[in-house]
Amino acid sequence: MKYTLQLDLTKQMFMAIDVNDRNHVGTGSTVEQAVAALTK
């Protein structure tokens, strides 16, 4: 799976976003948590 990463500065949360489906998003307080949430 290919994804992009973003950091929401207001919430201090990382977002991993699937490049093929922008609605498929995983969030977490670390990059690892965001990617793990995305791959669930």
pLDDT value of position 12: 96
Residues 24, 16 contacting (CB under 8 angstroms)? no
pLDDT at 16: 98
pTM of the shown model = 0.88
Question: Which value, in Å, is the radius of gyration of the alpha carbons in the chain?
Answer: 9
pLDDT of residue 34: 98
Rounded to whole angstroms, the Cα distance separating 39 from 36 reads 5
Sheet strands side by side (includes 13-18): 3-8, 13-18, 25-28
| Tens of pLDDT, residue by residue, the chain (40 residues) | 899 999 999 999 999 999 999 999 999 999 999 999 999 8
In the numeric block, which tokens belong to residue 13? Answer: 């949360």
